Amino acid sequence: MNTPRIGLKASCVVGFDGARHVLWRDGEVVIEGSRVLFVGRGFPGPVDEWIDYGNALLGPGFIDLDALGDLDSTVLCLDNGDERGMGRMWSEEYLRRGPRESYSFEEEVFKYRYAFTQLIRNGITTAMPITSMYYREWAETFDEFAAVAGVAGELGLRTYLGPCYMSGMQYLTADGSLAEHWDEPRGLAGLAAAERFFREFDGAHGGLIRGALLPDRIQTCTPALLHRTAALSRELAAPVRLHCCQGRDEVALVKQLRGKAPLAWLEQLQLLGPRAVLPHGIHIEGDDDLARLAGSGASLVHCPVVFARDGEALDSFGRYRARGVNFALGTDTWPADLLDNMRQGLNIARIQEGGSEGSSALDFYNAATLGGAKALGRDDLGRLASGAKADITVFSLDGLHLGPLFDPLKNLILAGRGDDCVASWIDGRCVMQHGQVQGVDYPALRRQAQAQFHKLMQSHAERAVGRSDWRGLFQPAIPFADAWSVERPLCTLASQPDQ
């Protein structure tokens, strides 16, 4: 049977001329199977079906290399004081009792279904997910990721997956100081599970699922764990994502434990190279470290929104780019909106750089597309050109909030939001049309997420110092006026029995 050709039209189409994105007015994209056949105007051949999206920007799908795969707990921490005391870090007492899972196996898998739906809904077509470990017994498992791969394949999301692994974590002692707990065998067992997942699932679901090595954070991994990770990455040609240079405490701890700053230590371990995908890089140790990073070919995953919430920012997006650092983008938090990260990232960069010359709107759009593709070693993603993967997003330009149109990309970055995305095609399959992710019951998804989030809130009391009543750990921005709401912070859960 012949593969049908599908033609997509829109008032604006972002093509790729071999070196850069270019904008076609009243453009067309023709896809055949999983690939783009044509971008431009006036396709000369036969097309089985044309879909006209009208006044819209049709462009390459976004690539999110620190994509939230969780029910995010940021709303619990916002303006709520030191999060270490609210159960987002293990207490010494909790560690002594023996950590446990906060969710069931089915709930662990559900959180990915919820998160992946959000990613697609916001125009993200390729994701490397991230979740928190603080509410886990330890780290992630092979079995749950076998199920997660099935969810990604069902929804049609292109993902780079693997169970997160670690050999230690910090905990809060009774006197309020921090200490480290290490379990080297458990870390190495986690790496073995990650290798098994890679060998069994890399290329699954028609190539939508790709394997990746995803150690937790640089300060939670021992030298043996990272040394073996580096060797396995070379053997499998696997990308390695490792969170590093994201906090002053992390940098100080790595220096104390390993005798070097994070990037110098990664270089010593032979982990600092083109396959290294590094969120967040906001605490780089001067020009020497910047030169080390740029010369290595490693990519930084920039997540401006999540750090701005805590008053932190990358030193200079523009200066790092000028030195040759490749940037990808990530969300790392809720909402899964890369347009918001582009907008806030651009504004933050200009404040940090003291002007508008060093960073442009296009720089951030490139990071969300071409930069992410480069970080993954893919020249068939992040662009619309003949032969590229048919990963396509359609952003409506009809929203009143977008204002009068001049340049659709500038309008979207200045005023757009993720849910302006009305359609998404991944690997040539329409996974979302008219804002509806195929096969997903939005109200049912939200109800289950809300109930599961309630369970997560309750679990904080087990980890908090003193095992406080969970109701007192989180405070609303405006105090509740009635006693019932004080007893039950989540008003939408009024019909649920107390637990």
- Predicted local distance difference test score (pLDDT) of residue 83: 78
Calculate mean pLDDT across residues 20-28. 98
Asked if pLDDT for residue 484 goes beyond 70, the answer is no
What is the per-residue pLDDT across 139-163, written as a single tens digit (0 to 9) for each?
999 999 999 999 999 999 999 999 9
Lowest-pLDDT range of 74-88, 151-165, 187-201, 276-290: 74-88
What is the per-residue pLDDT across 447-457, written as a single tens digit (0 to 9) for each?
999 999 999 99
Q: Is residue 9 part of a domain?
A: no
pLDDT band at 221 (very low <50, low <70, confident <90, very high): very high
- Distance CA(179)–CA(37), nearest Å, equals 56
The tokens of 213 are what?
């090595």
Calculate mean pLDDT across residues 453-467. 89
- Predicted local distance difference test score (pLDDT) of residue 470: 84
Task: Report H helices in 416-475.
Answer: 442-463
- Predicted local distance difference test score (pLDDT) of residue 496: 46
pLDDT band at 498 (very low <50, low <70, confident <90, very high): very low
Asked if pLDDT for residue 48 goes beyond 50, the answer is yes
Single-letter residue type at 302 = H
- Predicted local distance difference test score (pLDDT) of residue 344: 98
The total domain count for the chain is 1
Lowest-pLDDT range of 66-70, 79-83, 217-221: 79-83
Calculate mean pLDDT across residues 471-475. 83
Contacts of 218 (CB under 8 A, 6+ apart): 226, 242, 243, 244, 250, 254, 262, 265, 266
- Predicted local distance difference test score (pLDDT) of residue 490: 54
What is the per-residue pLDDT across 80-118, written as a single tens digit (0 to 9) for each?
888 777 888 999 999 999 999 999 999 999 999 999 999
- The chain-wide mean pLDDT, for the chain, equals 94
Asked if pLDDT for residue 181 goes beyond 80, the answer is yes
CATH of the domain at 270: 3.20.20.140
Local structure of 330: helix, strand or coil: coil
- Distance CA(190)–CA(165), nearest Å, equals 5
Largest CA distance in the chain: 74
Q: Is residue 204 part of a domain?
A: yes
Q: Is residue 222 part of a domain?
A: yes
Asked if pLDDT for residue 59 goes beyond 70, the answer is yes
Closest C-alpha to 273, from 318, 239, 303: 239
Q: Is residue 428 part of a domain?
A: no
- Distance CA(215)–CA(235), nearest Å, equals 17
Q: Is residue 86 part of a domain?
A: yes
Q: By percentage, how much of the chain surpasses pLDDT 70?
A: 96
Calculate mean pLDDT across residues 286-304. 95
- Distance CA(180)–CA(71), nearest Å, equals 26
Q: Is residue 460 part of a domain?
A: no
- Predicted local distance difference test score (pLDDT) of residue 42: 96
Calculate mean pLDDT across residues 272-287. 94
Secondary structure (DSSP) of 74-85: HHHHTTSS-GGG
Note down the domain range covering 206. 61-382
Lowest-pLDDT range of 123-132, 148-157, 462-471: 462-471
- Predicted local distance difference test score (pLDDT) of residue 409: 96
Calculate mean pLDDT across residues 392-399. 98
* Cβ neighbour number for residue 21 with a 10 Å cutoff: 20
User: With contact defined as beta carbons under 8 Å apart, do 246 and 279 qualify?
Assistant: yes
Asked if pLDDT for residue 66 goes beyond 80, the answer is yes
φ and ψ at residue 19, rounded to 5 degrees: -135, -25
What is the per-residue pLDDT across 238-251, written as a single tens digit (0 to 9) for each?
999 999 999 999 99
Q: Is residue 430 part of a domain?
A: no
Asked if pLDDT for residue 493 goes beyond 80, the answer is no
Q: Is residue 419 part of a domain?
A: no
Closest C-alpha to 449, from 85, 177, 28, 111: 111
pLDDT band at 402 (very low <50, low <70, confident <90, very high): very high
What is the per-residue pLDDT across 321-360, written as a single tens digit (0 to 9) for each?
999 999 999 999 999 999 999 999 999 999 999 999 999 9
